């Protein structure tokens, strides 16, 4: 009798634990979706696409200005000015990056993109 009671208690305990974990996981997933949605709304409300007549884009995690024509698009390769981080990573001199977003939310000083990077095959003439 005691063994049957112990088995029933154990099965009930494990079933309750699984149910609680499942409910907690659903709540976590809901909260993660909510945070993502709120971050997107905040980004949309603060993102600007032009500054002083120049296009503003993000290359990785950093924002830059573009004075050239035509406007840049996501995925384009560009040449960026050297900075202390790029010097540590790649050495002195300009370096290439890829436009990841149009516009920016950063409110500080922006460096200028030097030029579009040559496409593969363009420089082999």
> Is the model's pTM score more than 0.95?
no
Alpha carbon separation from 67 to 3, 50, 93 (Å, rounded) = 80, 10, 20
Can you say whether the dihedral through the CA atoms of 69, 74, 79, 83 is positive or negative? positive
Tens of pLDDT, residue by residue over 34-56, are 999 998 888 788 899 999 999 99
Dihedral pair phi/psi, residue 60, rounded to 5°: 65, -125
Mean pLDDT of the chain: 89
Q: Which two tokens stand for residue 116?
A: 């579009």
Per DSSP, the three-state class of 101 is: strand
Domain boundaries, the chain: 1-46, 50-116
Q: Are 56 and 50 in contact (CB under 8 A)?
A: yes
CA–CA separation, 31 vs 25, rounded Å? Answer: 10
């Amino acid at each position: 009798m005691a063994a049957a009671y112990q088995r029933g208690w154990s099965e009930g305990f494990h079933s309750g634990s699984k149910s609680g974990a499942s409910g907690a996981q659903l709540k976590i997933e809901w909260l993660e979706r909510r945070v993502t949605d709120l971050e997107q709304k905040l980004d949309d409300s603060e993102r600007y696409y032009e500054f002083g007549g120049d296009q503003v884009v993000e290359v990785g995690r950093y924002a830059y200005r573009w004075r050239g024509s035509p406007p840049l698009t996501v995925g384009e390769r560009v040449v960026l000015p050297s900075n202390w981080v790029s010097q540590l990573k790649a050495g002195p001199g300009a370096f290439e990056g890829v436009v990841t977003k149009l516009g920016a939310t950063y409110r500080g000083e922006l460096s200028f993109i030097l030029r579009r990077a040559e496409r593969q095959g363009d420089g082999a003439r």
